[in-house]
Structure 1
Amino acid sequence: MIRLRLYTTLGCHLCEQLEALLVTLCGTPYRLNRVEISDDDALIDHYGARIPVLQDEAGAELDRGFEPERLAHWLSARGWLDEAAWQRLQERLSGKTSPEPAKGVTLRGGRRYLG
């Protein structure tokens, strides 16, 4: 299991986007340690304008990991990318396939129903 650190702050929608992409694209089991930067002035100075920042165990950092291509490249360089998931995501992003409905969602007549 790999250990990753995410420098984040409360209400960061880009951080949430990165986490969702990580769940989709990471093909290796991982543990994510979220570090709240607002509790530490030094962390705010260092990461404030850069969050979300994803860091691996070796200390290598990824800024703007909420951009799918950047995260895929970063994961691939470490051998952690789920290539099939990346291919499906690229097809969805390019409009070649329609998005898969979320779990618990039923599509009927073009409308989405929960439960």
Structure 2
Amino acid sequence: MSRYTLYSTWGCHLCEDAEALVKAAGVAGELQIVDIVDDEQALARFRVHIPVLACTDAQGAEQLLYWPFDAISLQQWLDQHTKDIK
């Protein structure tokens, strides 16, 4: 099971930027990419917010990081949520 989910859609340059940042942060092996067009619930939830990075913490709560984010804020978020997951 993937630890992180990136909600995006095809042809979204912001989503491509977010995906590149997430992969550069070293979590590509733990990443699932969901095209919101293919997921009715994700589309309803994130239609105007993509890209959105999500993870589920140790208590089962979903944590979301909304765009815009840069490498520094992404790494801080990952560090916090990696700690929460363990």
| 76, 79, 84: which one aligns with 1:76 | 79
With over 3 angstroms needed to count, the CA separation of the structure-2 counterparts of 1:29 and 1:6, relative to structure 1, is closer
Aligned-partner Cα distance in 1 for 2:7–2:24: 19
Query: Relative contact order (C-alpha < 8 Å, sep 6+): which is higher?
Result: 2
Percent identical among aligned pairs is 35
AA aligned opposite 2:64: E
Counterparts of 2:42 and 2:82, CA distance in 1:
29
* 1:25 equivalenced with 2:25 (yes/no): yes
SS at 1:56's partner residue? strand
Alpha-carbon RMSD: 2.6
The SS at the match of 1:78 is helix
**Structure 2: runs of 5 or more not aligned:** none
Residues 2 and 32 in structure 2, CA contact (< 8 A), matched pair in contact too: no
Which stretches of structure 1, 4 residues or longer, exceed 3 Å deviation after superposition?
none
1:18 Cα deviation after fit? 1.2
Which TM-score applies when normalising by structure 1?
A: 0.55
Structure 1 alignment gaps of length 5 or more? 81-115
3-state SS, counterpart of residue 61 of structure 1: strand
Q: What amino acid maps onto 1:32 in structure 2? A: L
Q: Higher helix fraction: Structure 1 or Structure 2?
A: 2
Contact 2:55 2:81 in 1 (8 A): no
- Normalising by structure 2, we get a TM-score of 0.70
